[in-house]
């Protein structure tokens, strides 16, 4: 997979002409001064949440030494393991999952020829999921990458306890410890203490890089490297986008941030990220976390949703075409495919498909995309179009940085702190109270009397 030749070293482009039935060019442009100020807050650290801006220049700060070290660790895991389980949740999971899915053979999981598989755990507390994972790992050579910035998150901690126990039973503690890599805070948290005690290989998540902005740190880079993909190219794509965004030569992030805020102000409260490539499903999940956790606060914020077309045209398509007009779409259009599949001619033509015989499947897909965009715009759903040259590490790196920068700018335009997530704590407090975690006695009493 890593030997694949990608053709394009181009950045993404944003086209907003299909929003102008809903908002005027002037309404978008009116946000330009606020957008410019917001971008400046990201670089001069004068906005809220400015202690979490390490991601802004992370790509250019990430040196070849670190990338080479990550590749060496990945190579050792690949050499010694049939399967590597990446344990993490939220920002410690979604970025790696998104990039690996976008770059992988769609049937990699069913092939035996692809080197070690990267599986994920700790992103849920499904008992059957964990049971079945452990069952699958029985008699397999496996390794673990455990990722938690805080080092105290319950979901990954449970998964790690189970898999660590299994690995130690399979190999003995000393050997098991050589197949575990921990990515966590430099000093704080239970995972850091455990890693120090056991002598695991570790990587640090910088204090100033929040979870959902951490895909270009070891959090995302190590699992992506283990999956066999080119992290140098991924980071280069992000670094080029970073330079162009920050020096003002590429206005894509500003344009996207201004446009979505103009649409929000015009009553479009839901943004649907649309792809026409099943490999981008988890990119949509990553994007939902980035924007949902960054902007949904103070009773404000666009609700981020995502669909995979044309699959979802046969489920959500009706709602999008005809439901409440509070939505807009952002379509990721991937220009070039990696493979060519042509629809064959058939003499009998019983299925009536000869009118597209000889065409590439992608040509049909592109017409589905164009036809849908026109239908939705005509139906009152404004449309932002993002052109991605291809699904390559370089282009994905570029798109990741674009969305991160636009998210910071957009959050500041909206008037929230895009870099905290106070709302995530509420469920944890209740869960700990219900589980009677030491230190939560008062909350336990309160929740029990409420449930009585």
- Interface with ligand PA5 (CB under 6 A): 89-92, 148-150, 153, 156, 210-212, 293, 421
Q: How far apart are CA 16 and CA 244, in angstroms?
A: 20
The CA–CA distances, whole Å, from 274 to 282, 288, 378, 402, 444 equal: 12, 12, 17, 16, 42
Position of minimal CB gap to ligand PA5 = 211
Q: How far is the CB of 210 from ligand PA5 (least distance, A)?
A: 5
Q: How far is the CB of 296 from ligand PA5 (least distance, A)?
A: 12
Report how far Cα 161 is from the mean position of its chain's Cα atoms: 25
Strands of the 270-275 sheet, one edge to the other: 13-15, 383-390, 327-336, 270-275, 303-308
Residue with smaller CB distance to ligand PA5, 11 or 149: 149
DSSP state of 314: G
Please say if 314 is a catalytic residue: yes
Q: Is 202 helix (H, G, I), strand (E, B) or coil?
A: strand
Q: How far is the CB of 54 from ligand PA5 (least distance, A)?
A: 13
Please say if 339 is a catalytic residue: no
Residue with smaller CB distance to ligand PA5, 49 or 210: 210
Closest CA relative to residue 258, chosen from 75, 117, 87, 412: 412
Residues pairing with 332 in the sheet: 275, 386
Q: How far apart are CA 95 and CA 97, in angstroms?
A: 5
DSSP state of 341: -
Q: Is 415 helix (H, G, I), strand (E, B) or coil?
A: coil
Residue 451, phi-psi category: left (phi > 0), alpha (psi -120 to 50), beta (remainder): alpha
Q: How far is the CB of 426 from ligand PA5 (least distance, A)?
A: 13
> Locate tokens 């052109």: which residue?
387
Q: How far is the CB of 23 from ligand PA5 (least distance, A)?
A: 30
The CA–CA distances, whole Å, from 394 to 40, 102, 237, 359, 391 equal: 26, 12, 4, 28, 8
230 close to 383: Cβ distance less than 8 angstroms:
no
Of the residues 138, 299, 314, 442, only one is catalytic, namely 314
Of the residues 37, 141, 281, 428, only one is catalytic, namely 428
Residue with smaller CB distance to ligand PA5, 166 or 421: 421
Residue with smaller CB distance to ligand PA5, 328 or 401: 401
Please say if 428 is a catalytic residue: yes
Residue with smaller CB distance to ligand PA5, 62 or 217: 217
Q: How far is the CB of 9 from ligand PA5 (least distance, A)?
A: 30
Q: How far apart are CA 225 and CA 206, in angstroms?
A: 19
38: tokens are 């917001």
Binning the chain into helix, strand and coil, the percentages to the nearest 5 are 55, 15, 35
Q: How far is the CB of 424 from ligand PA5 (least distance, A)?
A: 6
Of the residues 101, 155, 285, 293, only one is catalytic, namely 293
- Enumerate the active-site residues: 293, 314, 428
């Amino acid at each position: 997979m890593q030997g694949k030749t990608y053709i394009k070293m181009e950045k993404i482009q944003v086209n907003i002409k299909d929003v102008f039935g809903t908002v005027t060019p002037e309404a978008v442009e009116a946000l330009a001064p606020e957008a410019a100020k917001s971008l400046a807050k990201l670089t001069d650290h004068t906005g809220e949440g400015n202690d979490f801006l390490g991601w802004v220049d992370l790509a250019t700060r990430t040196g070849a030494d670190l990338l080479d070290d990550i590749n060496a660790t990945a190579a050792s895991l690949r050499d010694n393991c049939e399967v590597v389980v990446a344990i993490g949740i939220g920002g410690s999971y979604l970025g790696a999952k998104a990039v690996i899915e976008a770059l992988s053979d769609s049937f990699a999981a069913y092939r035996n020829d692809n080197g070690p598989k990267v599986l994920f755990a700790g992103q849920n507390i499904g008992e059957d999921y964990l049971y079945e994972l452990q069952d699958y790992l029985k008699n397999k050579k496996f390794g673990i990458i455990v990722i938690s910035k805080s080092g105290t998150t319950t979901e990954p901690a449970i998964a790690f306890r189970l898999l660590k126990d299994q690995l130690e039973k399979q190999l003995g503690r000393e050997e098991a410890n050589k197949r575990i890599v921990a990515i966590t805070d430099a000093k704080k948290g239970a995972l850091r203490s455990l890693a120090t005690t056991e002598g695991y290989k570790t990587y640090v998540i910088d204090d100033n890089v929040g979870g959902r902005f951490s895909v270009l740190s070891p959090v995302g880079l190590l699992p992506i490297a283990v999956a066999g993909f080119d992290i140098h190219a991924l980071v280069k794509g992000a670094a080029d986008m970073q330079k162009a965004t920050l020096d003002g030569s590429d206005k894509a992030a500003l344009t996207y941030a201004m446009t979505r805020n103009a649409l929000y102000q015009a009553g479009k409260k839901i943004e649907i990220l649309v792809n026409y490539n099943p490999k981008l499903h988890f990119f949509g999940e990553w994007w939902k976390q980035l924007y949902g956790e960054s902007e949904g606060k103070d009773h404000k914020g666009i609700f981020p949703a995502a669909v995979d077309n044309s699959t979802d045209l046969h489920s959500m398509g009706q709602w999008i075409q005809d439901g409440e007009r509070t939505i807009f779409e952002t379509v990721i259009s991937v220009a070039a495919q990696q493979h060519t599949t042509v629809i064959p001619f058939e003499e009998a033509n019983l299925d009536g498909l000869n009118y597209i015989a000889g065409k590439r499947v992608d040509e049909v897909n592109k017409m589905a995309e164009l036809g849908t965009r026109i239908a939705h715009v005509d139906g009152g759903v404004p449309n932002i179009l993002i052109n991605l040259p291809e699904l390559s590490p370089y282009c994905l790196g570029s798109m990741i940085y674009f969305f991160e920068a636009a998210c910071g700018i957009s959050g500041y335009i909206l008037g929230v702190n895009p870099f905290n997530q106070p709302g995530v704590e509420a469920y944890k407090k209740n869960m700990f109270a219900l589980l009677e975690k030491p230190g939560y006695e008062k909350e336990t009493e309160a929740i029990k009397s409420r449930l009585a």
